[in-house]
Amino acid sequence: MSEPKSSDSALRAMTDDGAFRVVTVRTTDTVRRMLAAQSVWGPAAERLGELATGAILVRETMAPTHRLQGLLRTEDGKHRWVADSHPDGGTRGLLTRLDAEAAPSIAGGMLEVVRTLYNGELHRGVIEVPSSGDMSEALMAYLQSSEQVASMLSVACVLGDDHVVAAGGYLVQLLPEVGRGPLAIMAERLRDFQRIGELLAKTDAATSPLMDELLYGMPFTLLEEHPLEWKCRCSTVRVMSSLATLPRADLNELIDAGKPIEMSCDFCGEKYTVSPNQLMGLLDQS
């Protein structure tokens, strides 16, 4: 009998000595649908999968009940990635390219993370991507400089010839109770988990095996696990709400043209058509 297929999820745990909080995530299916929606492959697709996975990990750690967005752009501005992660487990991603042929090195680029605080305000943090061009190092640098959170993190997106082999990652947060002994042990152990692509490919990126490997020999308690998925937020209501922000003169001009407006979602490609009568309805509401 074959083993049941893993599904995307986020798993939380804490060591019994209160030294570490750990989150592991499987994002394979989320990334697969994201890349299909964006019609992207290769190195640029890997960066999008890594950014989306990282956004989920940071949200799960810093703002589990709020929305978080990660924005990454290359130093020359020719590539821009966006990951949008929500507390219901839904995440979407976007890649825009001025030059589809350009090699998308992110070294020296900028990583911005925007998340909602519990008082409703937005917290923005911006860091320069390290010269290594490594997404995991960039995310750790953000957590350290903008959130003052000491953590160890790794994300990976492994692509085959024509499919996503595995995507996922982990975040180990150092808590105030951590002592020198456990810290030294964990730091030494995680040297073997700086690059986790091969491990994720072998285990189907399942969250429990990764958690067991990270915390081997350390008593820990599983706290919760919940599903993750690719999910776009576009809708007819959102399209109409966007058009409603246009000045009345612009709406009148569109109505006078007498033609339906066709729009599409950048994240998923869904197409929307708005008729002149619907536009007139917006005027009546204003």
Mean pLDDT lowest among 12-16, 172-176, 178-182, 263-267: 178-182
pLDDT tens-place string over residues 219-251: 999 999 999 999 999 999 988 888 888 888 888
Structure token pair of residue 126: 């911006």
Concatenated DSSP letters of 182-246: HHHHHHHHHGGGS--HHHHHHHTT-HHHHHHHHTTTS-EEEEEEEE-EE-----HHHHHHHHTTS
Distance separating alpha carbons of residues 240 and 262, to the nearest angstrom: 12
| Architecture of the domain delimited by 236-285 | Alpha-Beta Complex (3.90)
Sorted by where each begins, the domain ranges of the chain are: 9-230, 236-285
pTM above 0.85, yes or no: yes
pLDDT tens-place string over residues 120-161: 788 899 999 999 989 999 999 999 888 888 889 999 999 999
For domain 9-230, give the CATH superfamily.
Hsp33 domain (3.55.30.10)
